[in-house]
Structure 1
Amino acid sequence: MEFRQIRYALAVAKLRSFTKAAERLNISQSAVSEQVKLLEEEAGFPLFKRGPRGIDVTERGRTFLYEAERIASDLLSLSDTARRLRGALLDTFTIGMGSGTAQIFMPRLFNNLEETMPGARLEIVTAPTKSIFNELHEERIDAGIAIESEPDRVPAGLVFDRLTEVEMALIVHPKHALARSRQPIDIGGLVAEPIIMNELSVGYGQVVLSLFTDLGIRPNILAIVDNIDTMKAIVQSGKGIAIVPRACAANEAALGVLKVMSITPARSVALSLFRRRQPLSRRKEGYLNALRDALKDEPSKAK
């Protein structure tokens, strides 16, 4: 199996279309179809089938592609390790990403990375929002992407540039009773549902908690975890529900392992690039400005 075959298949699963996948990958549709067919032949079973709303992932294909996505991520990390061991990269720029932001920003970040950060090695640290703030304050990372928080929750000396706004959405197991609804899910109706929460004092957890407390109710918290990947895994196992940025569950929704649903009242959160107020080195300031421009929504797309 080739890495490009897995990458093409994951694109088809996410976009539910060979045509759209080809456009996203900037290659011909025939090339996508051919490589996916070769992957299916080697796997020994079909990954996709045609459904009433486009391409659907088969039952075995769903399991296969879920594992393939994890392996693809590991391969990218391995490639970076090899470059580091060769000494091919000179400078190091370390950026922290708050829980759930990687899935939103990675495509933008790596689309033109060599142009954005020529001659540099990018190191990415994934951590909860509070840890991102602490790492910045202690000067262990150069910048951090996290949800905007109340001023008293952010250490003094940090400033930020807003990058984008994302919609918060409910995620449930596909067989959960709520998954059958065709209407946005009322937060007030979730009071008895066991919910998986993120850190409550800052970040997404603070936002989700406020959705309930603004209505004068308290959520039925089943567990509190420090990252969205764990939240999704628990919900995927059929234990509880969660409210996360919609974009963070796009891949799982495409693979059919999670159902993503709108909520009412609707809520969006702002994601921003945080940094220390004092300037970095001239070279790192250049990297930081280039990263901000690469990650920021275009004016026509900003909400």
Structure 2
Amino acid sequence: MMSEDISENDLPSVKFENELKTLMNYTTLEGYVKKQTTIQDIDKWIQSFQSKVEQYLKDSSRDTSLDYDKRCKHFNYLINITISKITSLSHGIVKTNEWSHKIKDWRSKLYTSNPNLMCKEINTYTKNNKKILGTFCEDSDYIKKKISDIQRSKQCQNILKNISTRKELLTTIFEDEKGKARKYTEINEACSIKNLNTIFPSITCSSSIEPASETDAHTASDNDVDTGESSDRLRTQSSASSRDLSNFRRESFTVTGESESSSDSSSDAIGLVSLPIFGVLALSFVLYRYTPLGSKFHASFRNNENT
């Protein structure tokens, strides 16, 4: 059975916040600048945000797998920071109060008309530290339930980095609270900043892929679905094969060159021995044919025949 490839975006709190902020067009709100963004732009943003989020919450209220208490806290927290951002844009206290009440009234009516949401305005993370701890506990519970799939997931390292970063931040908060003798941050007894190692002990990722040997190159190319890892691996193997082939050609050329040099040396030796012989014969022919020595030699040869 193939394991589920879980990513950090599947962590419950991360998924919820990403979906909600996308619907809210939250990046646009974050880009608004004090005393520069117009009242009309803010009014338009609030209207769009209310209609989209309302539909999303109605749809999600039918999902029985959700932890409504955690979703309620998270949603109210996001609404509160949204109100804080809008009131910071400073178009006068009258207008900012109007925006704040408009959003709060909308939320109250939303909860009243949709009892399936099981949420009240007072159920929220009162401080940022509590929100960090609450979402950390929620996502840690999810990881524990999905531990086998996550350990085999290609995104395991990203999930580990995400949750470990939050754990380090909470550890810093814990040390600060301990040093200043403050009341420790906690959601409940199980989700307390004093129990971070119990909430999330650690995970060991087993999703790393061993580099393929050259004999496995064909298997890798047949089985891998054009992933960057398999492409890099095949490129490496191809480069190695090219280098081996280049070396083989160079070695072959060296051996052949040495054989040719030996043959040339033998031919040169024969040529050097033959040259004096051919030279003597040629000189004798010239002397015989074109000089008086030839006539004398010819006459002497005839006298010897007649004798």
Larger radius of gyration: 2
Q: Which of the pair is proportionally richer in strand? A: 1
Q: Which has the higher contact order (CA 8 A, sep 6+)?
A: 1
The verdict on a shared fold, with TM-score over 0.5 as the criterion, is: no
TM, length-normalised to structure 2: 0.22
Q: Which of the pair is proportionally richer in helix? A: 2
